[in-house]
Amino acid sequence: MRSWPAVPVSKIIRQPLPLRIYSTKARDLVTIPVKDRYQMYVCGITPYDATHLGHAATYLTFDLINRFWRASGFEVNYIQNITDIDDPLLERAARDGLDWRDLAHSQIELFRDDMKALRIVPPEHYEGAVDAIPDVVAAIKKLTDSGAVYKVDKDEYFEVHKDSQFGSESHLEIPEMLSLFAERGGDPNRLGKRHQLDSLLWLAERAGEPSWPSELGSGRPGWHIECAAIALKFAEQSGTTIIDIQGGGSDLIFPHHEMSASQVRVLTGKEFAFAYVHAGLIGLDGEKMSKSRGNLIFISKLISEGVDPMVIRWALLKRHYREDYMWLRSEIDIAKNELEALTLSVQKSSIPLTGDLVKEIYQSMANDLDSPRAIASINQWVKSEGSGGDVTELIDALDSLLGIVLPS
C-alpha cells in the first residue's frame, strides 16, 4: 500500500547518544543500544475516523524516535499497518450507508494528507490487513502446527496460555484483562472457548460481510494476528528480539499489543520487541477524546480553519508523550505565539549562540523524548540576548529532531 511522500531528515549529530525510552513491559526506562539500523513497528489506524488529535499525538511520538535515530546518522526500518477490514469499519459504513471499501479509501487518503501536513516521516513498509491476508494465513497455519490454535465452530482461536509469558507486557490481573478485552473488541463470553481471553485469529465467512478465500476457508483475519504477521513479514529477524520498538497509544497495551507480542513469541521463540512504547491519551472538556463520545478534534478541520500544521505539531510537542492530559482550546493560540516569536528571533541579523541549545534539544530527545524540555529551552533562548549564533545550525536541528519548519 502507498504511504505518503518522503520527508528528508538530515544527519546533524556527530556524537550519537543511545535512546532511553520508557518500556511498558519493563515498567522503567530502558536504553536501546547504539547500532547502525533500528526497527520499529507502530500500529496504524482503522480507517473510519481519521485523523483526530489523538492519532496525531501518537504518530508524532514515533516520528520523534524515527527522527532521533535518523538525525544521529542511523537507518530505520519503520513498519506500519492499516486495519482496512475490521468490525468497527463495517459498523461505521453500515451506519452511514457507505460501501466499506469507499469509506476506508477516503479515510486512508485523509490520513495520508494529514501525515504529510504534519511532516511525519512515512513508514518504509505500509501494509493493509487485506493485502496481508496470505501472510496472516501462513502465520495461523504455523501457530496451528505448534498446537496453539483451536476451532470454535469454523472460527480459529489462539490459545493465549500456550505462551508462558502471556501478561508480561501489560502486567494486568485477569479480572482487568477480561474487562478490557470485552471493551476493546474481544469476546470473553463466547461459548466453546478454552479460556475467556483466547483471541480470534480467523473469522469464518458471515452472511453479508466481506470475506476472502484461503486454506483456512473463506473468512477474514482477526485484529492481533494482522499486526504479528505484518511485522514478521517486513522485520529483519536477526537479533535476539524481532524489532527494537513496538508502539502505539496506551489504549493498545491490552489486549492488542499483549496478544500480538504473545503470538510472535509462539511463532518465533523470540521476544517481539526490546521496548514496548505507548503514547498517552488526550481528553477534551473533562472527558476522554473518543469516537463513541463524538468529541474528536480532527487535524483536517483545524487545517481547514487556517491553523498552520506546524502550530499543531508545536502544541503537541509541549506535552510529554506518555502524559494523559486534557486538551485546552487555548493551546493552539499559545503555540502560534511561541512559533511566531521563534521565527522573528531567527530572522534577526545576529542571534544568540546556538550550539548549547542544539545540544539541549538532542539530549532532551535522548532522555525519553522529553519534548517539553526541548520546547522550554527554545522559548528561553528566544528571550535571551547575544550574538554569534548559527541560524542554519538551529534551523536544521528544529527540522531534523522536532520536525518543525519555520516560515521563510
Cβ-in-10-Å burial (0-12, 13-18, 19+) of 5 comes to: exposed
Pair (342, 286) in one structural domain: no
pLDDT over 90 percentage in the chain: 93
Q: Is residue 61 part of a domain?
A: yes
Question: Predicted confidence band at 329 (pLDDT cuts at 50, 70, 90)?
Answer: confident
In a domain, 315, yes or no: no
* Residue 345 covered by a domain: yes
Clarify whether residues 108 and 202 are in a common domain: yes
Which pLDDT score is estimated for 295?
80
What's the mean pLDDT in 31-39? 96
10 belongs to a structural domain: no
Among 302, 319, 354, give the residue marking a domain's end. 302
Q: How many residues does the chain have?
A: 408
Is the same domain home to 293 and 346? no
Residue 292 has pLDDT above 70, yes or no: no
Question: For the CA atoms of the chain, what is the radius of gyration?
Answer: 22
Q: Is the pLDDT of residue 29 over 80?
A: yes
pLDDT in tens, 44-85: 999 998 899 999 999 999 999 999 999 999 999 999 999 999
CATH number at residue 226: 3.40.50.620
| Number of domains the chain is built from | 2
Residues 359-365: what's their mean pLDDT? 98
Same domain, 274 and 208: yes
371 and 254 within one domain: no
Coil, strand or helix at 154: coil
Closest CA to 34 of 58, 14, 16, 61: 16
376 lies in the same domain as 337:
yes
Alpha carbon of 188 to those of 224, 232, 282: distances in Å? 15, 27, 28
Q: What is the pLDDT of residues 231-248, one digit of tens each?
A: 999 999 888 999 999 999
> Among residues 398, 403, 390, 397, which one has the least CA distance to residue 352?
390
pLDDT-derived band at 290, boundaries 50, 70, 90 = low
Residue 407 lies in a domain: no
Query: Do 73 and 207 sit in the same domain of this protein?
Result: yes
pLDDT at residue 99 above 80? yes
Whether residue 152 sits in one domain with residue 201: yes
Distance of alpha carbon 175 from alpha carbon 196, whole angstroms = 11
> Of all residues in the chain, what percent are helix, strand and coil, respectively (each to 5)?
40, 20, 40
Q: Which domain holds residue 249?
A: 19-302
The verdict on 272 and 374 lying in the same domain is: no
Task: Report how far apart, in Å, the C-alpha atoms of 110 and of each of 24, 56, 105, 196 are.
Answer: 31, 12, 9, 37
Shared-domain flag, residues 55 and 119: yes
Give the end of a domain, one of 257, 284, 302. Answer: 302
**Domain end (from 285, 302, 319):** 302
Residue 2 located in a structural domain: no
> What does the alpha-carbon distance between residue 209 and residue 360 come to, in Å, rounded to a whole number?
53
Task: Give the model's confidence band at 284: pLDDT under 50 very low, under 70 low, under 90 confident, else very high.
Answer: confident
CA 126 to chain centre: 12
Identify whether residues 219 and 138 lie together within a single domain. Answer: yes
pLDDT digits (tens, 9 = 90+) for 391-400: 999 999 999 9
Core vs surface per residue 274-305: b (16+ CB within 10 A) or e: bbbbbbbbbbbeeeebbeeeebbbbbeebbee
pLDDT of residue 291: 64
Q: Identify the CATH number of the domain in which residue 351 sits.
A: 1.20.120.640
Q: Is residue 7 part of a domain?
A: no
pLDDT of residue 237: 86
Residue whose C-alpha cell is 512515512: 122
Q: C-alpha grid cell for residue 403?
A: 520536525
Q: Do 298 and 341 fall within a single domain?
A: no
Q: Is 139 among the domain residues? A: yes
Output the pLDDT for position 104. Answer: 95
**CA dist., res. 235 & res. 322, Å (int):** 26
